[in-house]
């Protein structure tokens, strides 16, 4: 805007000057022109060149900025891929049987890298899309039913159970699965009604790890 205005004023000046004192024509590489005009054309050419150099520099800077942004994204991705947890139920003795299905809450955290597992709800929430691995193992008394499933949102993924028996003192079992998760998917262990597990700091556990972000 300022430049256009300046140009307009300059042209008026040239026109006036020409009216007052007639100027002689000159020959330059841009063809024949009045001295003022020649000077202007030369300056204009230099300015244009300068502007092009600035534009090139700006483009180079933008490219470099894009590269930096990509590197930051990669680093963020790498950081987000450190997801792993292991937790035990804590407490002591039998947990259950209850007359409704419950989510097993593993309150004693062993590790929780990335904080994707919630020790208060028992729910793991996938922070990034990827391939994950989960394993849950239980200890229980032999005289009661065990009926657990690994859940992905509202779907059963894998299950483990043990029937009521009078002749074995204790049971151990579990199951595991690889899962492809979207960001925000929930994974947890469901304990069905009328079943139970044995709890302490070390024996009934739930673990998960992100193998590969997608």
Ligand X SMILES: *[C@@H]1O[C@H](CO)[C@@H](O)[C@H](O)[C@H]1NC(C)=O
Nearest to 145 by CA among 89, 98, 103: 98
CB closer to ligand X out of 128 and 146: 146
CB closer to ligand X out of 102 and 119: 102
CB closer to ligand X out of 11 and 98: 98
Farthest CA pair distance, the chain: 124
The least CB distance from residue 144 to ligand X, in Å, is 11
The least CB distance from residue 103 to ligand X, in Å, is 14
Task: Give 191's strand partners.
Answer: 102, 148
The least CB distance from residue 204 to ligand X, in Å, is 17
Those residues whose C-beta lies under 8 Å from the C-beta of residue 190, and which sit 6 or more positions away, are: 101, 102, 103, 104, 148, 149, 151, 156
The least CB distance from residue 151 to ligand X, in Å, is 12
CB closer to ligand X out of 124 and 192: 192
* Cis before 4 (ω within 30): no
Binding site for ligand X (CB under 6 A): 145, 147, 161, 192-193
């Amino acid at each position: 805007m300022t430049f256009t205005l300046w140009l307009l004023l300059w042209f008026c000046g040239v026109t006036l000057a020409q009216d007052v004192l007639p100027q002689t024509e000159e020959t330059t590489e841009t063809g024949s022109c009045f001295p003022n005009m020649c000077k202007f054309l030369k300056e204009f050419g230099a300015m244009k060149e300068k502007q092009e150099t600035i534009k090139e520099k700006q483009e180079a800077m933008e490219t470099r900025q894009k590269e930096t942004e990509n590197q930051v994204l990669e680093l963020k991705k790498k950081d987000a891929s450190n997801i792993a947890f292991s937790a035990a139920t804590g407490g002591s003795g039998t947990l259950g049987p209850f007359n409704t299905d419950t989510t097993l809450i593993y309150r004693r955290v062993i590790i929780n890298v990335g904080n994707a597992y919630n020790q208060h709800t028992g729910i793991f929430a996938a922070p990034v899309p990827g391939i994950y691995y989960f394993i849950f193992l239980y200890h229980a008394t032999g005289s009661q039913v065990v009926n657990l499933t690994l859940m992905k949102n509202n779907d059963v993924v894998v299950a483990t159970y043990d029937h009521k028996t009078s002749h074995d003192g204790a049971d151990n079992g579990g199951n595991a699965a690889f899962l492809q998760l979207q960001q925000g998917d929930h994974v947890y262990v469901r304990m069905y009604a009328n079943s139970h597990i044995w709890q302490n700091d070390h024996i009934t556990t739930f673990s998960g790890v992100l193998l590969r972000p997608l």
